[in-house]
Amino acid sequence: MKSLFVLSLTQNYLTGPIPVSLGNLTNLTRLYLDNNYLSSYIPQEIGNIISLIFVTLCTNNLTGNLSKLDAIELHDNKLVGSIPLELGNLINLLSLDVSINHLTGLIPSTLGKLIKLTQLKLDNNDLTGSIPATLGNLSNLVNVLVSGNEISGFIPQGITNLTKLGSISLSRNKFSGYLPQDICLGGLLKIFTANDNHFIGPVPKVLKNCRKLTRLRLNQNRFSGNISDAFGENPDLVYIDLSYNNLYGKLLPICGECQNLTSIKASNNLISGLIPPELGEIAQLQTLDLSSNHLLYEIPKELGKLRSLVNLNLSDNHLSGRIPTEIGSLTNLEYLDLSTNSLVGPIPKEVSSCSSLIYLSIRRNMINGSIPFEICSLMNLQILLDLSQNNLTDSIPSQLQKLQKLENMNLSHNMIF
C-alpha cells in the first residue's frame, strides 16, 4: 500500500501501540488515528513519512515525546516531558495543538521561528516560565491558547504585532504586570480571556473599541481604573466578566448598546453611582451580577423588561427605595439576591410571579410589613428563602408549608410573632 495518500481509522476500537510499519507508507500525506484506544509511544518511524503534512492522534492514551510533523494535533492525550526545541525547525507548520496533556518545562523560544503558524494551543498542561518574546514574530497567528498552566511573568509587548489575532486565552496562570495597551490593534479580536491571574493596572482602552469582541473575561485579577474604559462600544459582545478586581467609576448608559449581551458580571469591585436603566434594553441578558460594589439609589424598574434574565444579584451595595413591582415580570428568574442593601417598603406580592425562582434572598435590608402569602406560590423555591434581618411583622403565613422543595429558610431577626 505504498501508493496510499490518506489513511483514516478515526473512531474505532484500535488498541495497543501505533504500528511502526506505518513508517513504510512513504507517500502518505494525511493520517487520522483519533478517537481510539491506542497507547504506548508515538513511533519515531512516522517521522520517516516525508510527505506527511497532517496527522491527528487526539483522544487516545498515547505517551512519549512529540513527533516532528508539519501539522501537529496531539491534544487530549498523556504526553509528558517538555516541548522539543526542534519544533522550531518545522518552518512550514501551520497548527500546533498539544493541549490537555501533562507537558512541563518552558515554552521554547524556538517556536518564534514558525512564522507560518496560525494556531498555537498549549492550554491545560503544566508549563512554567514566561511567554518568550519571540512569539511576537508570529504575525500570522489567529488563535493563541495558553490557559490552564503555571506560566508567570509579563506579557511581552511584541504580542501587539499579532494583528491577525482572533482569540487569546491567558486564563488560569500566574501572569503579572500590565496588559499591553494595544492588545486589539488589528481589530479582529473576538475572544480575550485573562481571568485568574495577577494582572494590575488599567484595562486596555483599546478593548472598548474592539468591535468584533464577543467574549471578555478579566475576572480574578487586580485591575484598577475606571470601569467605563473597559467596555461599551462592542456591538457583538455576548459575555463579559470583570468581577473581583479594583475597578471604580460608574456604569455608563452606553453599556445598553451591547444588545447581544447574555451575561454581565462585575461583582466585587468599587463601582458607584446608579444602575443604568438602559440595562433593561438588553433583551437577551440572562445574568446580571453587580454584587459587592458601592451602587446607590433605586433599583430601576426597567430591569423588569429583561424577560430572559435567570440570575440577578445586586447584593451588598447601597441601594435604597422599594423593590420595583416590575420584577414580577421576570418569569425565567431562578436566582434573586437583593441582600445587604438599604431597601425599604413591603415585599411586593408581584414577586410571586417569578415562578422559576429557586433562590430568594432579601436579608439585611429595612423591608417592613408582613410576609405576603402570595410568596407561598413559589413552588420551585429550593436552595434558599432568606428574609432575615429586616423589619417584617405579623405572623408567618401557614401557606409556607407548601414549599415542599425548600431546603433552607431564614426569617430570623425580624418582628414576626
User: pLDDT per residue over 288-321, tens digit each?
Assistant: 999 999 999 999 999 999 999 999 999 999 999 9
Which tops the pLDDT comparison, 255 or 30?
30
| Rounded average pLDDT over 185-200 | 94
| Residue 247: count of CB within 10 angstroms of its CB | 25
User: pLDDT per residue over 130-164, tens digit each?
Assistant: 999 999 999 999 999 999 999 999 999 999 889 99
Task: Give residue 185's pLDDT band: very low, low, confident or very high (50, 70, 90).
Answer: confident
Task: Please tell me the predicted confidence (pLDDT) of residue 215.
Answer: 96
**The CA-based dihedral angle spanning residues 201, 206, 207, 213, taken in that order and rounded to the nearest 10 degrees:** -160
Contact in structure between 202 and 221 (CB atoms under 8 Å): no
The residue type of 73 is E
Contact in structure between 65 and 85 (CB atoms under 8 Å): no
Task: Please tell me the predicted confidence (pLDDT) of residue 67.
Answer: 44
Residue where the block lists cell 512519549: 64
pTM, entire model: 0.83
Task: Please tell me the predicted confidence (pLDDT) of residue 64.
Answer: 59
User: pLDDT per residue over 67-93, tens digit each?
Assistant: 445 678 888 877 888 998 888 888 889
For the cut 60, the answer to whether the pLDDT of residue 65 exceeds it is: no
Residues 6+ positions from 59 with CB-CB distance below 8 Å: 34, 35, 36, 76, 77
Domains delineated in the chain:
1-78 (3.80.10.10), 299-417 (3.80.10.10)
What does the alpha-carbon distance between residue 77 and residue 213 come to, in Å, rounded to a whole number?
31
- Average pLDDT of the chain to the nearest whole number: 91
Q: Is 4 left (phi over 0), alpha (psi -120 to 50) or beta?
A: beta
Task: Give residue 66's pLDDT band: very low, low, confident or very high (50, 70, 90).
Answer: very low
Closest to 399 in 3D by CA, of 349, 365, 359, 363 = 349
